[in-house]
Structure 1
Amino acid sequence: MSATSSRPSYAAVLRIPYARRTFAAVLVGRLSYGMVPVAVLLAVTRATGSYAVAGTVMALFGATSVSLSPVRAALVDRYGPRRALLPMASLYAVLLGVLAVASGRPGASGPVLGAVAAAAGACTPPLGPTMRAVWSELAADRGLLQRAYSLDGVAEELLFVSGPLAVGGVVQVAAPAAAVAVGAVLVVAGTFGFVTSPAVARMPGRRPAPKDGARQRKPRGPAGTVPPVVAAGGVGLSLGALDLLVLAFAEQQGHGDDVVAWFFAALSAGSAAGGLLYGAVEWRSGAPVRLSLLTAGLGLTLAGAGLAPNLAVLTGAIVCAGLFVAPALTTAYLVADAAAPPAARTRSGAWVNTAVNAGISAGAATSGLLVAHFSPALGFALAGGAALLAATAVGTAVGAGRRRGGAVGLEEGAVERAAELR
């Protein structure tokens, strides 16, 4: 089931048996995650006529989806992707269908919409973390795994750009509720194609504990999954604050909010380019060290972005900041995977994913205070400072691990597992 390559490349990743089929199917399902938030927001706004209700519904949906992600990932680790993901995806799709019907008529009840949205969020299948767990099984070579994770991260970045565009296409010919229904169909179709792939079907649930009392080998490393979770949270905090900071900067320069979308297109473009470049390089430094440096690079770039004299320079700074986003998150997933025991890979990746999303939500919530009380320049500095603080914490943990003689434990753990897979 695993594959190695003496010359890792993106083409080699896609040549792994069943990789193209598996990846294509899961991307169909994950496209739903790029569509549903925008579709639900538009549908609820049209049904209730209230931005406040729509915001509350989205907050409930996001809260249950993010907070319960490790729990859902633990179910995948315990029962295997096929037994866990299909029921989740089916229930998620049914609840989205109910939400589409309920929001398809004017005067819908806000509390009802909120309750259905919260229930749907609680059932969101962890397709991204599961796919990364599958990559760690398929790509035994560490260099190949880095490229697989980079490819996965770039694809996810593009999905979250194309998802809202797809919603825009649907609402040109139908009500926003129809886009919610399309999201439901996509997640069921993608999940079914994913779990029926031979690469996924062979992945069992958690193996029973040994009966002879032998101790299971635990992964070595200074702090387990804490450093990647901290780094991901810092990245999320910084990114979540960008929305209002960019808007405040544009208004300060005498421009309207219509230019804001271009900044986020620039961020996504930079992130995609950075992710592809990162995955193509043979790095000599360890992943934990790279994680600290990449997170710091994002923080420094964002802090400097606030000093831009005009929108053109700010756009360039945002592109440069994006160059660090996908590489930082890719490295966080690599470190988390190396630190996790085989029976907890999905859950380990889900914690990183949860940290990013929680950080984005917290950053968005606090950015209003930044805009209200500080200049955009100082707001950018504080947003970048969140990533710098996380980078410092990760660097401190890595340094402490080295002093204890376990600094390379994360890397060695990955190599040992690769040998086991072969």
Structure 2
Amino acid sequence: MSGSSPRPSYAALFRIPHARRTVAAALTGRLSYGLVSLALMLTTGHATGSLAVAGAVMALFGAASVFLSPARAALVDRHGARRALIPMASLYAGLLTAFAVTAWRPGAPALVIGALAIAAGACTPPLGPTMRTVWSQLVPDERLLQRAYGLDGVLEEILFVSGPLVVGAVVQWAPPAAAVLLSALLVWSGTLAFVLSPVVAGARPAPVKSCRSRRRWQGGRALAQPVVVALGVGLSLGAVDLLVLAFAEQHHHRAGAVAWVLAALSLGSALGGLLNGAVDWRLSPGVRLPLTACGLGLALFGAALAPGLGALTVAVACAGFFVAPALTTAYLIADASVPPGIRTQAGAWVNTAVNAGGSGGAAGVGLLVGRLPLGWCFVISGAVSLTAALVSVRTGWTARSSTPPTAAGAHRAAVSERGTDPGEEADRSRV
């Protein structure tokens, strides 16, 4: 955008042809992910009568989904969204349906349920990374792309808050397996509508232009900074969920109070994401990223000093304020650091880092709770985020000093310097 042109707003995103249709379709599919974890856990517990089995099945499903995410994203980059996502969504929805049918009534064999959960997790369509890749193709202006990623993060927060509420409504009238069926229907119909959108259907895979650029990306230097911060944020957030529960129990609050504290975390993240997207930052993303991770760590230090649930809620909301900006900035750096042909994989690596960190943080703090005072547990969770910020400064400096800019990064830098993109109108007309 030129210096005299108005600052791009969130509304400008939806003036892009077919953007509203594409976003709505992607959100429909991604709502499935807000439902599926709780739905699978409740269904497994109902079918087997064992919370231990339910927890194990959830861990297996989550591991298959998280750690295979970059491999599934590579299929999208290589073959295009339509050819990769439709088979993945069909397999995923079919396996969830088989899971629901098998576990509809009590007495289902735990081994069969576990096998179906692992297989379903392995096929989870990477709708989030693919949607962010679509945004990066639609929006050549970095300021507007920042708003797109910020809005995407806020909408994702809303999905993961509303998903369990939908499951709660379903189980009032039907067995928990019905919520698994609903999740399958949402992901299949949403993915189909997404790939049939003119924006996605008309896109073609962007080949990596040289073996040299592919080798440079595979070396990991370009993605080290965003992945390190995403991992640290995930570790801290995974710890917070369990620490809030332990705090409520220690102060003799009802379990329902935990939901309000975690809702404050999501609300803070949503507000932080919207504000981050609306500000025209003078600091580069590589500088902002460790600062947001530091903000999260310091807010968790504040949570360690909370005398009661009200103060803890405020501290957790302040921590949430830095979550969406940190992840949005990580996605921006990942997108600009790799060749166009592997953007979906880059976003998937950031996703994998934050999700794996969440699981690791919950497991790690579970070993500390009861052995250390809760205040120290909050301090340790904040220190993890601060450590990630410090490590990311080093990794970011190393990547910038040793890796020449990719075509994507050079293009964004050129657009930022010139203020306009001479191919913008032509690109918009094609979608």
Q: Per-residue displacement from partner, 1:181-219 (whole Å, max 9, x unpaired)?
A: 000000011001100011111221243757xx9989978
Name the CA distance, whole Å, in 2 between partners of 1:325 and 1:137: 25
Q: Per-residue displacement from partner, 1:36-95 (whole Å, max 9, x unpaired)?
A: 111111111011100000011111100100010000000000000000000000000000
1:225 aligned partner, one-letter code: L
Q: 1:263 to 1:344 in 2, by over 3 A?
A: same
1:254-293 correspondence runs (5 A): 254-293=252-291
Which one is further off, 389-398 or 357-366?
A: 389-398
* SS class of match (2:322): helix
1:262 aligned partner, one-letter code: W
Structure 1 length normalisation: TM-score? 0.93
Query: What residue number does 1:397 align with?
Result: 395
* SS class of match (1:224): helix
Shift of 1:251: 2.2
2:154 aligned partner, one-letter code: V
Query: What residue number does 1:184 align with?
Result: 184
Asked if residue 299 in structure 1 is aligned to residue 297 in structure 2, the reply is yes
Q: 1:407 to 1:55 in 2, by over 3 A?
A: same
Q: 1:296 to 1:215 in 2, by over 3 A?
A: closer
Query: What residue number does 2:70 align with?
Result: 70
Name the CA distance, whole Å, in 2 between partners of 1:63 and 1:216: 27
1:261 aligned partner, one-letter code: A
2:207 aligned partner, one-letter code: R
Q: Answer whether contact 1:222 1:409 (CA < 8 A) is retained.
A: no
Query: What residue number does 1:171 align with?
Result: 171
Name the CA distance, whole Å, in 1 between partners of 2:310 and 2:242: 18
Q: Answer whether contact 1:61 1:120 (CA < 8 A) is retained.
A: yes
Name the CA distance, whole Å, in 1 between partners of 2:111 and 2:415: 49
Q: Per-residue displacement from partner, 1:8-41 (whole Å, max 9, x unpaired)?
A: 1100011111110000000000000000111111
1:377 aligned partner, one-letter code: G
Query: What residue number does 2:198 align with?
Result: 198
Query: What residue number does 1:353 align with?
Result: 351
* SS class of match (2:370): helix
Q: 1:403 to 1:133 in 2, by over 3 A?
A: closer
Name the CA distance, whole Å, in 1 between partners of 2:403 and 2:85: 40
Shift of 1:369: 1.1
1:25 aligned partner, one-letter code: A
Query: What residue number does 2:23 align with?
Result: 23
Query: What residue number does 2:378 align with?
Result: 380
Q: Answer whether contact 2:76 2:85 (CA < 8 A) is retained.
A: yes
Q: Answer whether contact 1:94 1:184 (CA < 8 A) is retained.
A: yes
Q: 1:42 to 1:144 in 2, by over 3 A?
A: same
Q: Answer whether contact 2:29 2:190 (CA < 8 A) is retained.
A: yes
Query: What residue number does 2:56 align with?
Result: 56
Q: Per-residue displacement from partner, 1:250-277 (whole Å, max 9, x unpaired)?
A: 2222223231111110000100011011
Q: Answer whether contact 2:213 2:339 (CA < 8 A) is retained.
A: no
- Which structure 1 segments of 5+ residues have no match? none
Name the CA distance, whole Å, in 1 between partners of 2:353 and 2:233: 9
Q: Answer whether contact 2:39 2:179 (CA < 8 A) is retained.
A: yes
- Which structure 2 segments of 5+ residues have no match? 425-431
Q: CA RMSD in A?
A: 2.4
Q: Answer whether contact 1:286 1:411 (CA < 8 A) is retained.
A: no
Q: Per-residue displacement from partner, 1:274-323 (whole Å, max 9, x unpaired)?
A: 10111000000000110010011101111221111111111000110010
Name the CA distance, whole Å, in 2 between partners of 1:45 and 1:335: 41
1:4-403 correspondence runs (5 A): 7-207=7-207, 223-400=221-398
Q: Answer whether contact 1:137 1:421 (CA < 8 A) is retained.
A: no
Shift of 1:232: 0.2
Name the CA distance, whole Å, in 1 between partners of 2:67 and 2:233: 18
Structure 1 runs (4+) greater than 3 angstroms displaced? 213-219, 398-413, 416-422
Name the CA distance, whole Å, in 2 between partners of 1:123 and 1:217: 27
Q: 1:53 to 1:121 in 2, by over 3 A?
A: same
Query: What residue number does 2:428 align with?
Result: none
Q: 1:306 to 1:209 in 2, by over 3 A?
A: closer
Q: How many residues align?
A: 415
2:139 aligned partner, one-letter code: A
What is the aligned-residue identity percentage? 59
2:150 aligned partner, one-letter code: S
2:221 aligned partner, one-letter code: A
Q: Answer whether contact 2:85 2:191 (CA < 8 A) is retained.
A: yes
Q: Answer whether contact 2:338 2:408 (CA < 8 A) is retained.
A: no
1:164 aligned partner, one-letter code: P
Name the CA distance, whole Å, in 2 between partners of 1:352 and 1:311: 32
1:85 aligned partner, one-letter code: L
Q: 1:420 to 1:192 in 2, by over 3 A?
A: farther
Q: 1:399 to 1:177 in 2, by over 3 A?
A: same
Which one is further off, 301-310 or 96-105?
A: 301-310
Q: Answer whether contact 1:79 1:206 (CA < 8 A) is retained.
A: no
